[in-house]
Structure 1
Amino acid sequence: MVKVGLTGGAASGKTTVCELFREKGVAVSIADDLARDAVKAGSPGFDAVVAWFGQGVVSERGELDRPALRRMLISDTESRRVLESIVQPEVIRLMGAFLEREEGRGAAMAVCEVPLLFELDLAGMFDVTLHVGVGHVCQCARLMARDGVTQTEAERLLALQLSDEEKRGRADLVLDNTRGLSELREGFYKVFEKIIKKSRGSL
């Protein structure tokens, strides 16, 4: 089974690429979903987050208020490290379990979407790393539109990750997403064929 690590900066289009993989019948694990599981209401992770950040990160529904938490992390390095120490080990464990499960059922390919793949040095978990690339200006604009943040907040959030250029240089494959959906889809099909070749012994 070919294990694909899909990464890219915030608002780069990773979710869309995940859907394209699913259209091909490939199982996809989303790191953000796993992170939610790691801190869902009632879990030890949830209790640890609230103990550190306070009730201000709890929504009216009794769940984590992720936008509020994100705003707190922008300018607080220590809090970000605390959150990472709570969430990341569990996310990595769940990803490993997903890959084992897919391999056990005989899947030819499985994809893990991991925004911080290179930052956390997780490339070794995968046979192929695929970066969804988008220029900084476009990425910042998309992040502002998606999350309703200011340009300053968007720049700070992007500064928490490796640059698009560095990720491009470290990835085995790059899927450019600076244009529209049709161009992204066309590029995806080419990348998908390359990954299929990898499964047959050549990339």
Structure 2
Amino acid sequence: MIVLGLTGSIGMGKSTTAKMFADFGVPVHESDEAVHRLYRGKAVPLVEAAFPGTTADGVVDRVKLAERVLGDQAALKRLEAIVHPLVRADATAFLKRQHTAGAPLAVVDIPLLYETGGEERVDQVAVVTAEPQVQRERVLSRPGMTEEKFEKILVQQVPDAAKRRMADFVIDTGEGMDAARQAVADIIERLTGKRPEGA
């Protein structure tokens, strides 16, 4: 089974692209979805112990947590030390299931792939990209997002140009969804030897 790591900076269209792989029948492990599950389960007592008052009714309050960690390097590192191993374990269990099921290709969506050495855990990497102004418009249209928050997030991430250079595949979502979908289909064909149905 080939494991494809899918990554991209904030606002590049990674979640949309992950869904395109899934729509073509490729099993996908989405980090954001895993974090949502963990923030209602295993991560809750650990987050509360590290950041008291950021959970309520057995769920992590993401807004309160973001207020505590954004812009604070030490706090962010503490949170990553809790969340990253849990997400990694979740992804490992997912890959085992797909391997057992005989899937020829599985996608692991890793937001901070290059930042956390994630390329060591996958066979190939696809980077999702878009023009800087497209990225900025997408991110600033999110509820509660500000220029300041956006800049703080960007500083934490490996620059887009560097990610594109290191990647095996680049998917440009700024050229429209049809073009991105074709790029996804081409990657699936390259890696499995078969054109996905509906491509």
TM-score (norm 1): 0.87
Aligned equivalents of 1:197 and 1:54: distance in 2? 51
Shift of 1:176: 0.8
Aligned equivalents of 1:171 and 1:143: distance in 2? 23
The residue identity in structure 1 corresponding to 2:44 is F
Aligned equivalents of 1:71 and 1:163: distance in 2? 24
Matched with 2:12 is 12
Shift of 1:151: 1.2
Aligned equivalents of 1:96 and 1:51: distance in 2? 26
Matched with 2:89 is 93
- Quick check: 1:171 aligned with 2:185? no
Matched with 2:105 is 109
- Quick check: 1:63 aligned with 2:59? yes
Matched with 1:82 is 78
Q: Percent identity?
A: 31
Deviations 1:110-143 (A, max 9, x none): 1110101111101122111100012333212211
Shift of 1:160: 1.3
Matched with 2:30 is 30
8 A contact 1:6–1:132 mirrored in 2: yes
8 A contact 2:44–2:55 mirrored in 1: no
The residue identity in structure 1 corresponding to 2:92 is G
Matched with 1:119 is 115
**Deviating 4+ runs (over 4 angstroms):** none
Aligned equivalents of 2:72 and 2:174: distance in 1? 31
Bigger Cα displacement from structure 2, 183-192 vs 119-128: 183-192
Shift of 1:177: 1.3
Aligned equivalents of 1:146 and 1:168: distance in 2? 25
3-state SS of the aligned residue for 1:115?
Answer: coil
Residue segments in structure 1 that go unaligned for 5+ positions in a row: 199-203
Matched with 2:197 is none
8 A contact 1:12–1:133 mirrored in 2: yes
Residues matched between the structures, number? 194
Residue segments in structure 2 that go unaligned for 5+ positions in a row: 195-199
3-state SS of the aligned residue for 1:178?
Answer: helix
TM-score (norm 2): 0.89
RMSD of aligned residue pairs (Cα, Å): 1.9
3-state SS of the aligned residue for 1:107?
Answer: coil
Aligned equivalents of 1:28 and 1:122: distance in 2? 16
Matched with 2:155 is 159
Aligned equivalents of 1:83 and 1:135: distance in 2? 30
Q: 1:62 to 1:38 in 2, by over 3 A?
A: closer
Aligned equivalents of 1:147 and 1:132: distance in 2? 22
8 A contact 1:9–1:164 mirrored in 2: yes
